[in-house]
Amino acid sequence: MARPARKPAPPGRRAITRQPGPKPEPKPGPKPEPASAQRQAKPTRAKRPPGVRELAAQATREAILRAATQVFAQHGFAGGRIEQISKAAGSYDRMIYYYFGSKEGLFIAVIEDTYRRFNEAEQALALDVAQPLQALDELIRFVWRYYQQNPEFITLLNTENLMCGQHIAKSDKAREYSSPVIAITDSVLRSGAAQGLFRTDVGARDVYLMIASMAYFYLSNRYTLSSFLGENLEAPAALAHWEGFVIDAVRRTVGAGLPAPAAALPAVTALPARANKR
């Protein structure tokens, strides 16, 4: 249907045409933040708790590590077999290779975990360095008793030393565990020296080596020494005697007022770390 034509305006009246009015201006709003600010303001996603599969994987790895610790401690690296470890862990051979890559990789992980557990136990000590004599005694007792309560620590290190440390040399973590232990010993010695109780020329490294060697040698050789000396070095009285002897020996070594050695001990400089062999 055709649109009807507009009627002309009456004479004397001007035709009015409607002009479009101005568009309303938008109300001012908040300025958009730059992209960099938006990225910074983006809320961080909360860390997702491990799921069922992840927890199962962690449990499997831990079970293999615990089983391998016992098998290697009892049979050594050469005598410890993969099938023994997987059976003791209630797992499968393929899972050992999946998590650790090889038998050697598993043994390295066992050595690292052995040092880690010792390091964590030592760091948990609540030593009062303001009482340096008591703190030193507690440190000695801790090392001596830890070796007794964790015999696998000694047997695993014996195994590794028989192989000239070829596995621990490939570890990226072993060196990390020595620093805290030396730092604890150093804090005790510094406190004692400041109070005039300890010598100032004895280093924490030497004192720690003295403590560890006296405890380690006795326990690692107790069977042969018992036969050689004709006495039971595992008897409670014998163990208590040696603990007291070590404490007395260390106290005498670090105690102030002792005569200076005839010749000054040469300074020990740190040797460069051995390159890791992969």
Confidence tier at 27 by pLDDT (50, 70, 90)? low
What CA–CA distance (Å, rounded) separates 141 from 144? 5
- In the predicted model, what is the mean pLDDT of the chain? 81
What's domain 114-254's superfamily in CATH? Tetracycline Repressor, domain 2 (1.10.357.10)
Note if the pTM is more than 0.85: no
Give the pLDDT score at 55.
Answer: 84
CA–CA distance, 267 with 265 (Å, rounded to integer): 6
pLDDT confidence bin for 270, thresholds 50/70/90: very low
- Identical fold for domains 55-101 and 114-254, yes or no, is no
Asked if residues 134 and 128 have their Cβ atoms less than 8 Å apart, the reply is yes
55-101 fold:
Arc Repressor Mutant, subunit A (1.10.10)
pLDDT of 255 higher than 80 = yes
> Could you report the per-residue pLDDT of 145-201, keeping only the tens digit for each?
999 999 999 999 888 888 887 788 888 777 776 668 889 999 999 999 999 999 999
pLDDT band at 31 (very low <50, low <70, confident <90, very high): low
pLDDT tens digit string along 148-160?
A: 999 999 999 888 8
Task: Give the tens place of pLDDT for each residue, 104-136.
Answer: 999 999 999 999 899 889 888 889 999 999 999
Mean pLDDT of 216-229: 95
Asked if residues 263 and 269 have their Cβ atoms less than 8 Å apart, the reply is no
Q: Highest mean pLDDT: which of 3-17, 28-42, 148-162, 252-266? A: 148-162
What pLDDT was estimated at residue 276? 47
Q: Domain extents for the chain?
A: 55-101, 114-254
Confidence of residue 264 (pLDDT cuts 50, 70, 90): very low
- What pLDDT is recorded for position 149? 94
